A and B are shown apart, each in its own frame.
Chain A
Amino acid sequence: MTQTKPVGGLEGEYEHYEAIVVGCGPGGAAAAARLAAHDIETLVLERGTEAGSKNVSGGLIYAEESAPYTIEDLFPNFRAAAAERPVTDYQIHNIAGNKVKTVDLTDLHEHDTEWCDAVLRRHMDSWLESRVHELTSETGGGVLTDVRVNGLLRENGQIVGVTCDELDPITADFIVAADGVNSELARDAGLMDWAAPEEWFQGVKAVVEMDPQEINDRFGLEPDEGIAHLFSGDLFEDVRGGGFLYTNEDTLSIGTVFHLDSLVAEQAEPHELLDALLTHPLMSQWIGDDYHELEYGAKLVPDSKKVAHREPYRDRLVLVGDAGGQMQAQGPIIKGMNHAVTAGALAADAYMLTRGNADPEAPGRRYTTMLEQSGTMAKLRPRRYELTSPVGEHGLVTRVTEGVLDSPVGSLAIGNPLAKRLLPKAYNSPFLVGMLPDTQTGYTTLPAIIAEQHGRTVHWENEVEPPSLEERIGDLTYNTDVGNPHIRVLDNSEAASGAAVYACPVSAEDFGGGCYRSETVTTNGSEETLVSLDTQPCVECGTCAIVADTEWEHPRGGKGVEFRQG
């Protein structure tokens, strides 16, 4: 802190930093590193007890050839020090019952890809935190953990700083909200809401222990190689989404990602969908025996096609990464962290370029322009998708297409030998993948038919017994803020909040030890089903903020769940 700058109109004096970055994930770290490179006094506030302890991701970070910044540019030695295995092979498995058709997606994966590594967030983000602290300390700032920023400080209606649970309010000339998918700052600024389930995905993941040599043997890899397997088809009934398996140094990341609206509509239990993948015969070749799950985690993912904010700023606040909806999920392409890195670095550059400009929105406007000009926004919100989705996602079109595909004629078309040759080509076309509407057709029907027509039957026995939800919760580390729950149910009727009982990844219809439960209450002779909440097992994914009527905040700094793998 160089000086304490009084803010007129507000009582007292506030601490002042030139820049405040909220959140020390890849987006926040990139922003802070660039700000520090410009010699701008930067304070980074992270609510976890260590960066990464609040983060879960599927686990691939890309370096795109077309991107202005990659994480290795900003943090030399990142790949060697903080990442797991590189992805050298990329496959999708279309599944119909026990029939599987595998398509090699390496071409698609390698399109515009300089490199791509699997990562575990605790290890990765904590490494970034220590680098960021070194860099920002040079500017008179640094990284503080265990601090939760709970809102924006305003003066005459203008954003001028942040308020925290643990610290007195702090003013800043530039504020970067990199506080993740459940960004409290983006919501406070009125830039994002928690309204529509169709704008979100929910992912759940198991990190599974495995000896490095075993990984090499079972996946046919050299020590410096890794593989990404994707899964789609009728494995998950009619729930729209898919599964993945990535190889780490000495663990596997196995998970499933679904459209939240589809989870709600099908009343699906996320942990059961994950179990469906873990216990599929196809998996037995990799995790057949001695299954040891280290960690179960969950995360909400914004669908950038729908929510990537076109003008992610207000006053001197800019949104970066998940906080700005910058998570690209299109068919088998899932890219989030790389865009957060680009956005964070561009936001910092935008501030530098407009430094001294009296208009507090100058950096935000410049940042918006830079997101456009760098092609980042076009990746997040592809024009092709915008043109096709109104038709493709229209219910009637879906029903008609589904009907045709299900008919003998439709199946025959997909099943003919020409289609078989074209299939890998179609899958590997970034252009076609960009057009894929998010309907059941793309996720379930088509892959199932492909498997039915072209697939081979898998006869392996899968002996994996995934842990129960109770065991999974029991294995997680919590620092519970006793007597201070961070979520409140505003309407506990089944109609308003009942969806949380199954959609919450740590709750289940038949399980009393989760966050949400249904209870039948008899009052004056009439029976009523009510929803009750215990936030202790919460993994802070944010699902219930969307599917239930709640008042949702993050726990105080250092409190709540602490992921060890992430």
Chain B
Amino acid sequence: MRSIALTKGVPDFSDGAVSFDEDGHLERGKTPTVMNPNDHFALEAALQTRVRHGGHVSGMSMGPPSYSSVLEEAMEAVYSDDSYLISDRALAASDTWATAITLSAAIEKYQEEVADVDLVFAGFKTADGETGHTGPQTAWCLEWPIVTHVIALDIDPEEEQLRAKRLVEGDVDEIETVEAPLPCVVITDPEFEPTYRKAAHRLEHKRLRAETQERAVDHDDHLTTWGHADLNLDPDYIGLDGSPTIVSSVDPIPKAPSEREATMIDPTDEDGLEQVLEECQPFAAGD
């Protein structure tokens, strides 16, 4: 099985890493870039396929040259055999549509020059854009079937079929089991969990994890970068010109003003704590 796992760099929104200006706008320059957290599950699904059926996993991302660090993170934190970065000034400011066109062109180039692809994995929406468009649009451009919200995955290589469990959220959450032919685009749900019920699979998982961590040390030796010229795309379909989406403004949602007065009490302040107890007394009595 040959898989491509799509990943994207996003601002590190974790506490202590992220930086906002006075108006509440994200300070992109001061916030480090990390792999989109949801992509972790896509990579886990690709690794599960690699463990169970052998083959090859390529990490792929579109973004500035510095995004090689994102592909390195994917290789180190989960698994990939090699990395493909689609990077060119002409691609800057692409929206999800232009990105999907570019990525599908890159996947087609990969099929022509590297090997046929059975599966493309992507995570469920990025932490910055939150659109969830890119994966499905890439499938549309490739004219491949797509299975979304996947929480468990089984592949039958001989039948060239996959069977997936999908988490369908609604009034009642349901788990739907679907089948699809390969090649196929699989979008993992954050609830995705790889399953390894065979000792041989766990041993292989352990071996591959050790291998990929070792490989990530020399990540750039395993990195292929393709530019606009390599993909030979019409300039009207890529970058800013190819992006129909216009984000007219971004308004931070102000924090709800506190309506009640708060009194801060130091935990070591005995008198203060006594006061807290007194205040709580009526509630404890059930009044």
Chain A residues engaging chain B, CB cutoff 8 angstroms: 1, 15, 17, 43, 45, 133, 137, 141-142, 144, 147, 166-168, 170
Contacts and interface: CB of A to CB of B under 8 A. Distances in A.
Interface string B204-244: 00110000000000000000000000000000000000000
B261 to A, nearest CB: 34
Nearest to A14: B198
B6 to A, nearest CB: 29
Interface string B173-217: 000000000000000000000001111101100110000000000
Nearest to B206: A142
A166 B198 CA distance: 9
Interface residues of B, number: 9
A166 B203 contact: no
Nearest to A17: B199
A17 B198 CA distance: 12
Contacts of B207: 137, 142
A304 B202 CA distance: 36
A196 to B, nearest CB: 36
A1 B199 CA distance: 8
Contacts of A1: 198-200
Nearest to B198: A15
A45 B74 CA distance: 29
A532 to B, nearest CB: 24
Contacts of A133: 206
B260 to A, nearest CB: 33
A15 B202 contact: no
A247 B141 CA distance: 68
Question: Do most interface residues of chain B lie in helix, strand or loop, or is the interface mixed?
Answer: helix
Contacts of A15: 198-200
A17 B203 CA distance: 13
Nearest to B205: A144
Given A17-B199, A142-B207, A167-B199, 5 more contacts: A1-B199, A43-B203, A147-B199, A168-B197, A170-B199
Contacts of B196: 167
A43 B202 CA distance: 11
B272 to A, nearest CB: 24
Nearest to B203: A142
A23 B200 CA distance: 18
A144 B197 contact: no
A141 B199 CA distance: 9
Contacts of A166: 197
Contacts of A147: 199, 202
Contacts of A144: 199, 202-203, 206
A167 B198 contact: yes
A53 to B, nearest CB: 17
Contacts of A167: 196-199, 202
20 contacts: A1-B198, A1-B199, A1-B200, A15-B198, A43-B203, A133-B206, A137-B207, A141-B203, A142-B203, A142-B207, A144-B199, A144-B202, A144-B203, A144-B206, A147-B199, A147-B202, A167-B196, A167-B197, A167-B202, A168-B198
Interface in B24-82: none
Contacts of A168: 197-198
User: Which 4 pairs of residues, A with B, have the shortest CB-CB distance?
Assistant: A1-B200, A142-B203, A168-B197, A144-B202
Contacts of B197: 166-168
Nearest to A168: B197
Contacts of B200: 1, 15
Task: Select the residue from B196, B198, B203 with max chain A CB neighbours within 10 A.
Answer: B203
Contacts of A141: 203
A133 to B, nearest CB: 8
B253 to A, nearest CB: 33
